[in-house]
Structures are given as C-alpha cells and as structure tokens.
Amino acid sequence: MGKPTGFLEYERKDGAVVPESERIKNFNEFHARLSTDEQRKQAARCMDCGVPFCQAGVKISGMISGCPLNNLVPEINDLVYRGNFAEAYRRLSITHCFPEFTSRVCPALCEHACTCGLHQAPVSTKENEKAVIEYAFENNLVDEPEPKVRTGKKVAVIGSGPSGLAAALMLNRRGHLVTVYERSDRVGGLLRYGIPNMKLDKTVIDRRVSLMEKAGIEFKVNSDIGKDIPAEEIIKEYDAVVLACGASHPRDINVTGRDSEGIYFAVDFLKTVTKKLLDSDFKQYPYGLAEGKDVIVIGGGDTGNDCVGTCIRLKAKSVTQLEMMPEPPKERLESNPWPEWPKVLKVDYGQEEAIEKFGSDPRIYKTTVKEFKKDKNGKLKSVVLVSLESKKDEKTGRMSMVPVEGSEKEVPAQLVLIAAGFLGSESYVTDSFKVEVDGRTNVKTDLEKHMAIDQRDGSAKNKSKIFTAGDMHIGQSLVVRAIAEGKAAAKEVDEYLMGYTNL
C-alpha cells in the first residue's frame, strides 16, 4: 500500500513538539501536525508488506500485537498518500468510533507491529490517523444523525469512559434508546479525569459528546449507581444494562505512616487538578497542590508519567518516580522479537520534562517505599526508600522483587502519589448488580463473552440482562482496547435484545 518505494525514499518525520521549557508553563496539548504534503509522504512509507501485523490485534506471548480495533491501516495509509482524506476517514470510521482519542493517547500498537519498523523507523500511523480525523472534523465530515427508526428497547450504560461511550454510540446507531450514567460531574470517565489536558484536550471529548447528544443519547452526570440510585431501579427500568465502570479500585501501599497527610492515589490527584482547571476555565492553576514540594510518584507506568508532568507544571520543587522492576533494555532482546510488543525503555513526555527541569531522569528502578514519616501535625515530611532485588521463592519457584537488607534511605517528601495500578472493579457496584467477579475482581463472563454471570445461580445461561465492557471486564488496559470492548459488548447486547445483530 502507499507508494511502493516510499519507505526507501522518505525518512520518518513526526509533527513538531513544543519544547519542554515552554510547554511546562501550561496544560495545553503540545504536539503539532505536519503539513498535508508532508503527511502524505509519511503515509507513502507504508509498505505492501503482504501480512499487515499492524491491523492484526492478536495476542503474541500474552501481549497484544497490532490494533485491537483491526483498523484497515494499509488501506487508510494508501488513501492519505493519495490525498483522499475524506475517503480515508470513511474507511477509518468502519472500524473506529473515536480516532480523535487514540490518535492522542494510544501507545500505537500498530506502529510497534509495523513491518517497516523491523529494520527502520515504523510508519507514523498514529499521526496519519490524527490527520485524517481532524481533517474530517474541520470539513464537517463527522456526523452522528439520530436513527430514523427506533426499536423501542432501552439500554442503560453505567460509566462514560471509552468503553461506555463506544457501547452507547453503537447501540444508539442500531436504534435503541440509550442513557449513559456517570458518577462524576462531567462525561468522559478516564478520558476526562484520568488523562491530563496536555495529553488529551477536554474540548476533544466535548466535541464528540455533543454529537452523541444530537443523535439522541442521553447523559446523566452526578449519578453514582449503587449509591445515589439503587441498581434495582436501573434493572427494572431498562431492557439491558452495560457495566463499564472501569478498573477503578487502586492498588495501595500499606506501610507504616500510610495515614500521613499528603499521600494520594494518582487518579484522585489527576482528577482534582483537571476539575480545578475546568471549573476555572483554565484561568486558575492549582499550584497549591504541589508548588515547592518534594514529590514522590510510586509507579513507572503511564499514570505515573502523567503525575510527573502534572507536578512539574504545578511548580514542584523536585519529582522522583519509583519503579519496582529493573530498568528495561534500550533495544529488543532476542527473547522479545518483532512483532511482539517491545519491552524496551521508553522516555515519555513527563520524563523528558523532568530531565529538562531538574537535569536527570526522575525514575529510580528496583526501589519502593518502606515507610512514610510525618511531622507532629500528621503531615508527610519524608519517605524511607528501600532497594529491591529479584529472588526465587523456594516454595513456589516464582521470581519476585524483595527488599535488600540494609539498603534503606530516607528522602524528603511532602507529596506522594500512588500510581501502582488497579485491582479491578469496585465492590459496591458489582454487589449492587449481583454479578460474579473473578480473582482480580473483574466482572466474570463466559469466555470471550460480555454477558455478566449472575451471583444467584452462577450462570449466564439465564439470559441475564447485565453486560460488561472495558477495564471492568478485562482489567486495567488501554483506551483502544476499551473501545474495542465497548463495540463487542454492544453487538452482544443488540443480539440479546433483537435476536440477531447487524452491528
């Protein structure tokens, strides 16, 4: 696809990025787009590779390789190369509900499985996707008309994150009456409050939600099902229910001093920051949350990185990011061949900004917190760090990270953000809907299905009207997988309601 010799003629070129010293002064998106001509050249690099792993979305060695949505990547790249952005959008919209989200926040599984990337830089599929969807919005190609025929069936979607929005969109297109319930004050779930504005501008969410409302989808915010509204009311009122509440139960660090003032879960902190910014229309930055403080971020993943970038913007005195595992290699190991997801060192925007601001990478590997220390007023003043090493458990034979005796080190800290991942769904939701959960507290379903298993008889064969999607079903994962989950759940709900589906 694309120009047959394009990958030989053109080197990869990404859009300009605002320098770290400038972008940390605000919460604006900082990735610029290429010109149309330059974007076409980048699309021309897509090879006629024969087996496009980029669009496979399959598990290899337990990791997803290629796009979980099965976007028709070579075809879209070919259309971009030919300058036919309108047709590229139509082709992209066959598989993708929300390209404007993934083209900003997805780690680009498609690019890491790109055949061109085996020996040189992969095709810039993510930026090509962004160019297509933004062209479509700019030229009024993105529309979401209200269905001409309604089925009379009512569906409640609990949660307005990426999986909930995807399920709602598809079910509404089918003609069902869809109501989305969100416990926060604004629609978007993880997209709204779990991802900082500089990574995903919130007007991008508002733009899409406005289209969905125009199409007849009803959104009810400040509605915490299982607390504000009993689950029984929802089950009684609707013909089907989709639970898409996310894996919102954060993993804690239970060590001495955990009750110190100044320790927060990362997502709660990020939500507070974004809410204050939105409430003031970005006229007031909540500097008081981090200004002048020594910050410790526990967790080396995307959320931890978002905390690093956020605290730098809030004028933190220092930022240190702890990672329990060893530092990844800079290049693929032989045990991690293409097209597997590459387990290599990544320097994300937050780390780049920390290097610019403080002169070094904020990450410390094979390290965790042993103790939190507080002052006489109960406020956090320091943390005791301890180094870790890999050792085999004599009973199980498994390798695990254990503390190194005598390696303790006390460092100042007035703010700690716990970004250690999530354990699964929250019990008050699953208990109120009386659905089974697995060992990780994800909603239990039959294999590769989305109908929830009922607590009362341990079976989904009774045609339970409750379904699940996204992180609440598969555990903490990516936005692109959540969207794929929402689409798959919608198809199953439609078949349950109508006896067949054309989704």
DSSP 3-state assignment of 372? strand
The model's pLDDT over 251-289, given as tens digits with 9 standing for 90+, comes to 999 999 999 999 999 999 999 999 999 999 999 999 999
Give the span between the Cα atoms of 249 and 424, in whole angstroms. Answer: 5
Q: What is the CATH number of domain 6-138?
A: 1.10.1060.10
Which tens digits make up the pLDDT trace of 5-17? 999 999 999 999 9
Tokens of 276: 């204050």
Domain extents in the chain: 6-138, 154-248+423-498, 252-420
Residue 392 is predicted with a pLDDT of 87
Which candidate, 249, 247, 251, places its Cα nearest to that of 468?
247
Q: What is the mean pLDDT of residues 62-66?
A: 94
pLDDT band of residue 380 (cuts 50, 70, 90) is very high
Q: Domain 154-248+423-498, CATH 3.30.565.10 — does that match? A: no
Asked whether the predicted pLDDT for residue 464 surpasses 90, the reply is: no
Q: Is the peptide bond before 339 cis (omega within 30 degrees of 0)?
A: yes
CB 314 within 8 A of CB 293: no
Are the CB atoms for 96 and 112 separated by under 8 Å? no
Name the token pair of 478.
């990516």
* Rounded Cα gap, residues 427 and 311, in angstroms: 31
Query: Is the separation of the CB atoms in 380 and 416 below 8 Å?
Result: yes
Closest among 248, 398, 388, 399 to 322, alpha carbons compared: 388
pLDDT one-digit tens code per residue, 91-125: 999 999 999 999 999 999 999 999 999 999 999 99
> Which are the contacts of 117, defined by CB distance < 8 A and separation ≥ 6?
111, 123, 338
Which pLDDT does position 458 carry in this prediction?
61
Average pLDDT over every residue of 440-452: 94
How high does pLDDT run on average in the chain? 95
What pLDDT shows up at residue 151?
98
- Cα–Cα distance, 451 to 239 (Å, whole number): 13
Question: DSSP assignment of 230-242, as one string?
Answer: -HHHHHHH-SEEE
Backbone φ, ψ for residue 136 (5° rounding) = -65, -45
Residue 457 has what pLDDT? 62
Contact 404, 390 (CB under 8 A): no
pLDDT given for residue 38 in this prediction: 98
252-420 has CATH 3.30.365.10 classification: no
Do 154-248+423-498 and 252-420 share a fold? yes
Structure-block tokens of residue 431: 């208990």
**pLDDT number for residue 455:** 73
H helices present in 378-453, as ranges: 427-432
- Of 146-160, 200-214, 421-435, the range with the lowest mean pLDDT is 421-435
Q: How confident is the model at residue 456 (pLDDT cuts 50, 70, 90)?
A: low
Distance of CA 34 to the CA centre of its chain: 25
How confident is the model at residue 459, as a pLDDT? Answer: 59
Q: CA-to-CA distance for 406 and 402, rounded, in angstroms?
A: 12
Burial 156-165 (b: 16+ CB within 10 A, else e): bbbbbbbbbb
Distance CA 500, CA 385 (A): 57
Residue with tokens 């999607």: 469
pLDDT at 396: 83
Query: Is residue 166's pLDDT more than 70?
Result: yes
Helix axes 85-92, 73-81, angle to 10 degrees: 170
Neighbours of 122 (CB within 10 A): 22
Chain segment 311-367, per-residue pLDDT in tens: 999 999 999 999 999 999 999 999 999 999 999 999 999 999 999 999 999 999 999
User: What pLDDT is attached to residue 393?
Assistant: 84
Rounded to whole angstroms, how far apart are CA atoms 495 and 347?
44
User: In angstroms, rounded to a whole number, what is the distance separating the alpha carbons of residues 36 and 81?
Assistant: 10
pLDDT tens track for 23-38: 999 999 999 999 999 9
